[in-house]
Amino acid sequence: MSITEEARGEIAQRVAFSAFAYYPEIHADELAFDLQQEISWCLELAAGQLADEDSHLLRDLVARTIIDPTAYREVLNDILDSLTDDPDAGPDGRGE
């Protein structure tokens, strides 16, 4: 199972937005802040499109990227790329 290129781009944008708004003291300043809700919002377009293992991995990476984007942004982008449909790939996934 995989996500569309459109969903991949939207997920990356939402994670970037959430990471930009996040700061360590947010839980004290914004009592309604819920990291799990942020993660769910970021992954809304991927809901039901991924295997459970991929979904759990992506949720973990989204959380880590929101909290520390410098450390995890590249890894998240690599995983998103690996989970994205390749419209040029044939039935065997190799473009043939």
Q: What is the pLDDT of residue 28?
A: 86
Using CA atoms, how far apart are residues 58 and 47, in angstroms rounded to an integer?
11
Whether residue 89 has pLDDT greater than 90: no
90 lies in some domain: no
Mean pLDDT score of the chain: 89
What are the structure tokens assigned to 62, written together? 């989204």
* Structural domain boundaries, residue 38: 5-83
**Domain total for the chain?**
1
Query: What pTM does this model have?
Result: 0.84
- Reduced to 3 states (helix: H, G, I; strand: E, B; else coil), residue 5 is helix
92 lies in some domain: no
Whether residue 63 has pLDDT greater than 70: yes
89 lies in some domain: no
For 85: left if phi > 0, alpha if psi spans -120 to 50, otherwise beta; the answer is: beta
Q: What value does the mean pLDDT take over residues 11-32? A: 93
Whether residue 72 has pLDDT greater than 60: yes
